[in-house]
Structure 1
Amino acid sequence: PTESALGWGEMLTELQERGVRKIGLVCADGLKGLEDVISTIFPGAPLQRCTTHLKRNLLSCVRNGDKGELAEDLRQVFRTGDRSYTVERAWEQWQALCEKWGQDYRSFRRRGEDPAYKAYFTYLNYEARIQSMIYTTNWIERLQKDFRRVTRMRGAMPSEESVLLLMGKTAMDKKSYLRPVPRIDLDRDLFPE
């Protein structure tokens, strides 16, 4: 019913007990304490915070007249698919954005120097062709929404196995997962030798 770092910690511990030794990337929203839980159970696992959640949060902090300009500034900071765009460059642009908008909105000032915001730029360490697939959790949330919809339509299920079968069918029916992932196997961060 509610998401918590403790709940995620229990799930990650269970995965570890079932044999998972390393995680290549965790994509998550802004849940407090999650980064500590991940680093405790799977040290060194990189965390990518959802940029879409951050953008929505920031856009809700400004006047309607400023939303268009801020949205464009955010598009420039959170670029994908550009091999020459690095984490360092993105961080500099993020700080410049926070300084610019911090003149009119105090909430932006503190964000510019907060190192926790570097977790929003992890995607830039990966192959440029897959960056747009890993910098947001929207596709995961959409799948969760589909899971809730199909289980709600059925009301009761006869067994856990029937629920798992239904979830598998729902996931396999998603057309968006048919999109080819170009040469993802070449990304050595996700697939080491």
Structure 2
Amino acid sequence: MSIFSGSFQAEIQRCIVHQIRSSLKFVSWKDRKAVAKDLKTIYTAKTEEDAQLALTEFNDIWGSKYPHILQSWLNNWNELATFFKYPKSIQTLIYTTNSIESLNANIKRKTNSKGSFPTIDSAFKMLYMSTQEVQAKWERTSMRNWSEIYPQLCIFFSEIMEKYTK
């Protein structure tokens, strides 16, 4: 069964950092800095329309030399442009998947060091302990501009915020 079937309502935002890395993967070293600079105009645009214009300008400059870059951005555009719906404060939260990757790395580190688990319950306990450890780390570090971000989250995701912040 697909996660996209049924009443799935989450918005998907692809990691911009991974998209950039993927874009630069086959770019020659002499062009890399210039291509990265031109890609930056796309994901730092103020609106989705400005980003699409920047993508067109990018294509005018680099499209003939690196057509795979434009094709990749166009193929993934709906999931790359989700964050343009939100104010800058929320955009900085969702344009990368670093926090998810951090959690996954922590879980992988814990499970790899263990080798095997005697029971399914012991595996779940290890997963639980790993997530608690990461959550404690996140609680120790304050989020920059949280006083600006929190009200915006309450506006855009009122039902969810109400449910989990009572």
Global fold match (TM > 0.5): yes
Residue correspondence of structure 1 range 27-46 to structure 2 within 5 A: 38=4, 40-46=5-11
Is 1:163–2:126 an aligned residue pair?
A: yes
What is the aligned partner in structure 2 of residue 73 from structure 1? 38
What is the aligned partner in structure 1 of residue 152 from structure 2? 186
Cα distance in structure 2, aligned partners of 1:185 and 1:63: 44
Is 1:122–2:82 an aligned residue pair?
A: yes
| Greater displacement, 98-107 / 52-61 | 98-107
Structure 2 CA distance for partners of 1:70 and 1:101, relative to 1, 3 Å: same
Query: Which runs of at least 4 in structure 1 moved beyond 6 Å after TM superposition?
Result: none
8 Å CA contact 1:50, 1:120 repeated in 2: yes
Amino acid at match of 1:169: Q
Cα distance in structure 2, aligned partners of 1:134 and 1:93: 21
Cα distance in structure 2, aligned partners of 1:143 and 1:43: 23
Q: Deviations over 1:22-73 (max 9, x none)?
A: xxxxxxxxxxxxxxxx2x3345532211111110111012111000111111
The structure carrying a bigger helix percent of its residues is: 2
Count residues with an aligned counterpart.
Answer: 153
Structure 2 CA distance for partners of 1:129 and 1:150, relative to 1, 3 Å: same
* Runs of 5+ consecutive residues of structure 1 not aligned to the other structure: 1-5, 13-37
Cα distance in structure 1, aligned partners of 2:8 and 2:129: 34
Structure 2-normalised TM-score? Answer: 0.75
Structure 2 CA distance for partners of 1:185 and 1:72, relative to 1, 3 Å: same
8 Å CA contact 2:107, 2:127 repeated in 1: no
Structure 1-normalised TM-score? Answer: 0.66
Is 1:131–2:96 an aligned residue pair?
A: no
What is the aligned partner in structure 2 of residue 147 from structure 1? 107
Please give the root-mean-square deviation of Cα atoms over the aligned residues, in Å. 2.7
Is 1:57–2:45 an aligned residue pair?
A: no
Cα distance in structure 1, aligned partners of 2:117 and 2:70: 50
